[in-house]
Amino acid sequence: MTSPQTSETVRRRRVRGDGVDLAVYEQGDPARPTVLLMHGYPDTHAVWDEVAGRLAERYHVVRYDVRGAGASSRPFGKRNYTFSYLMADMTAVLDATAPERKAHLVGHDWGSIQAWEAACTMPERFASFTSISGPCLDHVAGLTRRNLRRPTPRNVRNGLGQAVRSWYIYFFQTPLLPEMVWRAGMAGAFAKALEVGEGVPSRDGHPARTLPRDGAAGVGLYRANMLRRMRRPLDRRTDVPTQVIVPTKDLFVSPHLVGGLGDRVPDLSLRTIPAGHWVVRSHPEVIARWIGEHITGTTGGTLTAAESRALRRARVAPDRRPFEGSLVVVTGAGSGIGRATALAFAERGAEVVAADLDPASAQRTAELARLLGPDAHAFQVDVADADAMEDFAKTVLHDHGVPEVVVNNAGIGMAGGFLDHTPDDWKRVLDVNLWGVVHGTRLFAGQMAERGQGGHIVNTASAAAFTPSRTLPAYATSKAAVLMLSECLRAELAGQGIGVTAICPGVVNTNITRTSRFVGRDAAAQQQDRERASRAYALRNYGPDRVAEQVVRAVLKDRAVVPVTPEAHVSRLVSRLSPGLMRLFARIDVG
């Protein structure tokens, strides 16, 4: 109490709400902008401890125990838990802690449901609103009706998904039983479930010691409001700049509930995070950062390049391009599939980092990408050089932030008999084709995992990865390794929302044939081979643009292995159905 300016100190006071006493907790300098954090059910203000601590360094953070929870009064009877009482409580707290100014509103679970009500009914009190895992009940009712009127398979699936997730809501409508269960020792099981199901271990304050009483009293929230709003939804809209954070692995609130929200909230941003319902406990760092970014964005503060990109990415608008605000790194971006991929992403709104061994061609790709997208940057880097890659990844992180998509595309071709390959040939192929992917993946996947917001990694393998051939021993080996690496990585990173795709193009008309090495040949014969291969590839005439389209699709749909050309598809099929046939083909000397 004596040092109110330090962010750790939590100042506690009581505020008189509508017929109840509310326990209010404040942190941070009261002269700063106020952030009101609303907790859900069956939590108390303490669920926000980690987030509040982080926000208190920059804001005046206010929390309170909602009636029926924690240290606030527990009125008896569902009548006392209707929205009108809840709104009166919130107004009382705001009047006491942030009089005559707008606050930044944040809600989780039932706190978010209340916050929607507040943002729609008293928008003049709020400068911004962040909703986490708690929809506006009226929107849900409206959405459900719309979906029932148009029972397409997807609507039915999504509707059933939420219906299953809402099992506890039906249970809470039964009289007495829920209270008895809570009182009968449900609290211990709840804490255990939280740890096992959500990966959120118990700590001091959460779940609260008052959980049995909170759980029992809070049932009133559901009984007083849910049915009423589902039966007679109101037309709720708000002009408050709103950010909705959607945990994609939420066991209680379906991510699809945000459908159609854009019509009712003109200034809407949407962010997804691969996390469970208690995301404020499992990812406090991310949540605090996103709240801060949203507040800074709506109040016109200064943002870093990465922050303003993140806000652009989150923004919902009818003409939004799918990769708006995303950062996409492409190696080998100076030509062929790499350049086409960089441009395809730029065309869809992404900011592109084009890396290539040849700086001029990377520069050129960036120039073209700037014609199509928001911005682009060129880098010279040798993917085979571990130190150079380390520098590259650090520079990208420092200058532009963590990429959303990384395409490890740089590669070289090499053909000829195994015995004609020197150890140096092998080293070169593996250094670029395999180690290049290893470095790129290691560094950027590391950044993505640390940030905790997911991402996507695309590795350019080849149809040669599953097509043995006597003429491509080194090349095919390196690409098979890339394919396997991608598959292993995909399994590992799935839990963190990071997708991994291996692209297997096949015969694509790029300059790889003109730069390939044909081992065991003198210079003239090698030149001849190159020209012959180039002619054959040109005749096949499958352009890199079409591969790039598949790369974009693979990222959007999170595909694991993507053969591109028809011959790649056939090859993959035959390699599965009849490996013997493939071995026979492998003997053909096409070199």
Partner 1 sequence: MSNNVALARTDNAAELERFREIQRLCYQCAEEVAATLEPGVTEREACRRMRRWLRDHGVDDWLHTPFAWFGDRTAFQGFKVPTQFLPSGRRLEEGMPYILDMAPVKKGFSADIGYGGVLGENRIWQQLDADLAAHRTLILELVRERRTFADIYAEVDALIDRQGYQNRHRKYPGRVIGHQVGIIGGPLPKGVGFPFGVRFLQTIGRELVKERLEGRSPLWNGARQSQHPPTPGLWAVEPHIGFRGVGVKFEELLVVTEDDAYWLDDDLPHVHRWAARKASA
Q: C-alpha dihedral over 156, 162, 166, 170, to 10 degrees?
A: -20
- When binding is defined by CB under 8 A, the residue of 105, 295, 343, 396 that contacts partner 1 is 343
Report helix, strand or coil for 305.
helix
**Residues contacting residue 581 through CB under 8 Å, at least 6 positions apart:** 574
Site track for partner 1 across 298-337, x = CB under 8 A: -------------------------------------x--
Which of the 8 DSSP states describes residue 466? G
Report helix, strand or coil for 494.
helix
Closest separation between CB of residue 549 and partner 1, Å? 13
Are the CB atoms for 242 and 120 separated by under 8 Å?
no
In whole angstroms, how far apart are CA 351 and each of 108, 449, 454, 460, 520? 32, 20, 17, 20, 43
Q: Say whether residue 484 binds partner 1 (CB under 8 A).
A: no
Q: Say whether residue 181 binds partner 1 (CB under 8 A).
A: no
- When binding is defined by CB under 8 A, the residue of 195, 367, 390, 450 that contacts partner 1 is 367
- When binding is defined by CB under 8 A, the residue of 60, 139, 364, 439 that contacts partner 1 is 364
d(CA 503, CA 408): 10
Nearer to partner 1, 82 or 511 (CB): 511
Closest separation between CB of residue 364 and partner 1, Å? 6
**Residues contacting residue 558 through CB under 8 Å, at least 6 positions apart:** 456, 499, 501
d(CA 340, CA 327): 16
Q: How many residues bind partner 1 (CB under 8 A)?
A: 12
**Residues contacting residue 178 through CB under 8 Å, at least 6 positions apart:** 171, 172, 215, 216, 219
Site track for partner 1 across 379-418, x = CB under 8 A: ----------------------------------------
Q: Say whether residue 535 binds partner 1 (CB under 8 A).
A: no
- When binding is defined by CB under 8 A, the residue of 71, 270, 368, 586 that contacts partner 1 is 368
Which of the 8 DSSP states describes residue 9? P
Nearest to 269, CA basis, from 240, 248, 289: 240
Nearer to partner 1, 371 or 494 (CB): 371
Closest separation between CB of residue 365 and partner 1, Å? 7
Residue at token pair 């029992």: 216
Whether the link from the prior residue into 151 is cis, omega within 30° of 0, is: no
Q: Say whether residue 552 binds partner 1 (CB under 8 A).
A: no
Nearer to partner 1, 371 or 484 (CB): 371
Q: Say whether residue 24 binds partner 1 (CB under 8 A).
A: no
d(CA 159, CA 259): 11
Question: For partner 1, which stretch binds (CB under 8 A), given 21-29, 102-110, 366-374, 479-487?
Answer: 366-374
Q: Say whether residue 365 binds partner 1 (CB under 8 A).
A: yes
Question: How is residue 79 written in tokens?
Answer: 């009548």
Nearer to partner 1, 296 or 335 (CB): 335
d(CA 290, CA 43): 22
Q: C-alpha dihedral over 462, 466, 471, 472, to 10 degrees?
A: 40
Containing 380, the helix (H) or strand (E) segment is strand 376-380
Question: For partner 1, which stretch binds (CB under 8 A), given 230-238, 305-313, 363-371, 571-579?
Answer: 363-371
Q: Say whether residue 339 binds partner 1 (CB under 8 A).
A: yes
- When binding is defined by CB under 8 A, the residue of 372, 386, 430, 582 that contacts partner 1 is 372
Site for partner 1 in 492-521 (CB under 8 A): 511
Q: Checking DSSP bridges between strand 21-27 and strand 11-16, what pairing results, if any? A: antiparallel
Closest separation between CB of residue 333 and partner 1, Å? 11
In whole angstroms, how far apart are CA 246 and each of 117, 318, 389, 572? 18, 19, 34, 37
Nearer to partner 1, 505 or 563 (CB): 505
Backbone phi, then psi, for 479, in 5-degree steps?
-75, -35
Closest separation between CB of residue 371 and partner 1, Å? 5
Nearest to 340, CA basis, from 478, 511, 500, 456: 511
Question: For partner 1, which stretch binds (CB under 8 A), given 25-33, 225-233, 302-310, 368-376?
Answer: 368-376
Nearer to partner 1, 95 or 367 (CB): 367
Of 59, 81, 475, 542, the active-site residue reads 475
Nearer to partner 1, 361 or 496 (CB): 361
Catalytic (active site) residue 475: yes
Nearer to partner 1, 262 or 359 (CB): 359
Closest separation between CB of residue 433 and partner 1, Å? 22
Question: For partner 1, which stretch binds (CB under 8 A), given 62-70, 361-369, 414-422, 456-464?
Answer: 361-369
Nearer to partner 1, 447 or 511 (CB): 511
Q: Which residues bind partner 1 (CB under 8 A)?
A: 335, 339, 343, 347, 361, 364-365, 367-368, 371-372, 511
Report the catalytic residues.
Answer: 475
